[in-house]
Amino acid sequence: MLLHVTSLPGEYGIGDLGPESRRFVDFLEQGKQRLWCVLPLGPTGSENSPYQSRSAFAGNPLLISPQLLLEAGYIARKQLQAVPRFSTSHVEFPRVRQYKYGLLRKAFSQFSETREYSAFVVRNHWWLESFATYMALREANKGVEWPDFAKESRCPPEEIRFHKFTQYEFFRQWGLLRKYCRARNIAIMGDMPFYVEHDSADVWSNPQLFDLYQDGRPRTVGGVPPDYFSRNGQLWGNPTYRWRKLEETGFKWWVDRFRVALETVDLLRLDHFRGFESFWSVRAGLATAREGRWVKGPGARLFKKVLKELGHVPFVAENLGTITPAVEKLRRQVGFPGMAVLQFAFGEDATHRPDHYVRDLISYTGTHDNNTTRGWWNDLRRSAAGRNHSAEVAAVKRVKSYLQTEGREIEWRFIHAILTSVANIAVLPMQDLLGLGTEARMNLPGRAKGNWGWRFTWKQIKNAMVWRLRDLTEVTGR
């Protein structure tokens, strides 16, 4: 099941690591599901994208559970009695951030260092110190990007300690949730972005590893050329890497990044895997990603080092978009399974059709970047109705013929198709299980604002749906 933590129900405006996440795990267990897929867990930037993080190593404080703060004795029960009225269907990020950080500061004011906290700080000092300092400096500089920090900026030690506390609490709560999952035989698949945010602790503390001007601003940024997600391509704005510098260090930053990720999750999806073979480099300042060029990445040299340092790594390669034979050669060389997305199966690319699947594959009805299956189908039919002899008309015919349906319960036709396929893992977005339309879409690639906010409610889950999922999972041997 694909569901980001932010999309969980709850009264605090955003999904978190507390009781509601455990209730979701119970739901997964009841439905005979074995894998919970989440999006990146790092602290997000101004547009709330989990793929634009302030740190490659830190956790997102917005996911900290107020209920678990109460149970730990950091806050009093009366401090949870005046919770603002938040939307139950959508995350109101500015309001949630204001509320959550106010609560975290109250918890910090009543926190006394413990042996566990001290051990956490010592064990993670190598990334935690720079992250906490960077976050404190951002606040001291009123949120400007780090190249604009005042040269004589100073921040109180207590402010640095506050950010260390939020990281300690995030990983304490995450550890409790993972323990709860393991007891129910449910693994967690995480997601690692290829790039990091320019305005991040990593770029601030390691500028030599990124393609920057002397003033710290990006020289080139990452993205992808025009594809089926966006006619102008996607311009992400993250600085590209100086791979030669990284290789001179033995790829230490990447090895450390992979090590920390694998201590946090059971499997790891590598977003934009094709960037390791070649990445789309765009001169900073351009309006779109159209005017870019492919630049060679580190290829197998990086993964040879990772495998030497870490041993077997349970990675999944996100091999969607502009994929060349060289990218697939690299994926096979390092031995990572790829992905197939059923929504892509009814155009000209037949590799996403279940009859083309292999066992070593992760199959999806759709991903966080896709429309929901019901929303996709409704859009496709509307588009086909408005154009004669178009690609959309052909796609509608292929869907109806391949799935033997006129479109009723289209999401269940999709679910059935990937669960009965030979792919070792089948992933269902929660929105598809609930049969929701475009209103429940998580992200629209190429759109900067208005993403990542969708949440479900427990009222949307019906017993008949859970038993239907359980029966289908059992009968397909999953």
Any catalytic annotation for residue 16?
no
| pLDDT at residue number 387 | 67
Q: Could you tell me if residue 193 is inside a domain?
A: yes
Q: Could you tell me if residue 361 is inside a domain?
A: no
| Phi and psi, residue 232, nearest 5° | -100, 10
Any catalytic annotation for residue 202?
no
Q: Kindly name the residue from 191, 202, 318, 432 that is annotated as catalytic.
A: 318
Q: Could you tell me if residue 238 is inside a domain?
A: no
Read off the pLDDT of each residue in 193-219 and give the average, rounded to a whole number: 98
SS3 110: coil
| pLDDT at residue number 341 | 98
Q: For residue 23, give Cα distances in angstroms to 180, 258, 440.
A: 10, 29, 21
Read off the pLDDT of each residue in 216-234 and give the average, rounded to a whole number: 88
> Where residue 240 falls among pLDDT bands split at 50, 70, 90?
very high
- What confidence tens digit (pLDDT) does each residue in 26-41 have? 999 999 999 999 999 9
| pLDDT at residue number 436 | 98
Q: Is the confidence at residue 418, as pLDDT, over 80?
A: yes
Strand spans (E) along 196-243:
220-224, 234-239
Average pLDDT, the chain: 96
CA 232 to chain centre: 23
Q: Is the confidence at residue 353, as pLDDT, over 80?
A: yes
Q: Could you tell me if residue 96 is inside a domain?
A: yes
Number of other residues whose CB lies within 10 A of the CB of residue 117: 16
**Alpha carbon distance 474, 478 (integer Å):** 6
295: enclosing H helix or E strand: strand 292-296
Q: Kindly name the residue from 197, 271, 277, 432 that is annotated as catalytic.
A: 271
| pLDDT at residue number 389 | 62
| pLDDT at residue number 155 | 87
Q: Could you tell me if residue 60 is inside a domain?
A: yes
> Where residue 226 falls among pLDDT bands split at 50, 70, 90?
confident
Any catalytic annotation for residue 116?
no
| pLDDT at residue number 230 | 77
Report the predicted TM-score, pTM, of the whole model to 2 decimal places. 0.96
| pLDDT at residue number 229 | 67
- What confidence tens digit (pLDDT) does each residue in 51-94 have? 999 999 999 999 999 999 999 999 999 999 889 999 999 999 99
* Count of structural domains, the chain: 1
CATH number at residue 158: 3.20.20.80
Q: Is the confidence at residue 412, as pLDDT, over 70?
A: yes
| pLDDT at residue number 319 | 96
Q: Could you tell me if residue 57 is inside a domain?
A: yes
Helices (H), 266-409: 300-310, 325-334, 373-386, 391-403
Q: Could you tell me if residue 23 is inside a domain?
A: yes
Q: Kindly name the residue from 16, 197, 202, 369 that is annotated as catalytic.
A: 369
Q: Is the confidence at residue 320, as pLDDT, over 70?
A: yes
Q: Which residues contact 231 (CB under 8 A, 6 or more apart)?
A: none
| pLDDT at residue number 26 | 98
The strand order across the sheet containing 278-283 reads 234-239, 220-224, 278-283, 292-296
**Alpha carbon distance 319, 324 (integer Å):** 10
**Domain enclosing residue 4, as ranges:** 1-205+455-478
Q: Could you tell me if residue 371 is inside a domain?
A: no
Ordered DSSP codes for 315-352: EEE---SS--HHHHHHHHHHT--EEEEGGGTTSS-GGG
Q: For residue 14, give Cα distances in angstroms to 67, 121, 215, 270, 358.
A: 13, 27, 37, 25, 38
Q: Which residue has the higher pLDDT, 139 or 153?
A: 139
